[in-house]
Amino acid sequence: MAMTYLVTFHWGWLVGSLLLGLAAGWVAVVQRGQGVSKVTARWLSLLVAALIAVALARLVPGRPGYWLDLGLVMFALYLAGCAVGSWLRDWVVSRHRPAA
C-alpha cells in the first residue's frame, strides 16, 4: 500500500531520479575521476544497509519514516539509472569502434 502511494504521488520525483542516474551513468564512463576508497565504500554500504533495515523494521514513525522510504526508493532508482546509463554508454561506444 505504501509503495503504491509513493509511486502514485511522487512519480515525477522517481522518474527524475532515474533520469538523473541515467545521465550520471552515461557521464561516469567518460569522466575518470577519483573514486571513493574501499574503507569509505564499506562505511557507505553499512550506512545504506542500516537505513534499509530501519525502513523495513518501520522504526521511524510518521512523516520522517515516509520520507526515509521515499529517499531509499529514489536512491535505488538513481543507482539503477547509473548502471543502465553506463551500460548504454559502453554499448554505444563499443559498437562504433573500428575493427583492429
Convert the pLDDT of each residue in 54-80 to its tens digit: 999 999 999 999 999 999 999 999 999
**pTM for this structure?**
0.82
Residue 6 lies in a domain: no
* Count of domains for the chain: 1
Residue 9 lies in a domain: no
Residue 30 lies in a domain: no
Residue 77 lies in a domain: yes
- Residue 71 sits in which domain range? 35-100
pLDDT digits (tens, 9 = 90+) for 10-55: 999 999 999 999 999 988 866 666 777 899 999 999 999 999 999 9
Query: Residue by residue, what is the 3-state secondary structure of the chain?
Result: CHHHHHHHHCHHHHHHHHHHHHHHHHHHHHCCCCCCCHHHHHHHHHHHHHHHHHHHHCCCCHHHHHHHHHHHHHHHHHHHHHHHHHHHHHHHHHHCCCCC
Residue 93 lies in a domain: yes
Residue 1 lies in a domain: no
Residue 20 lies in a domain: no
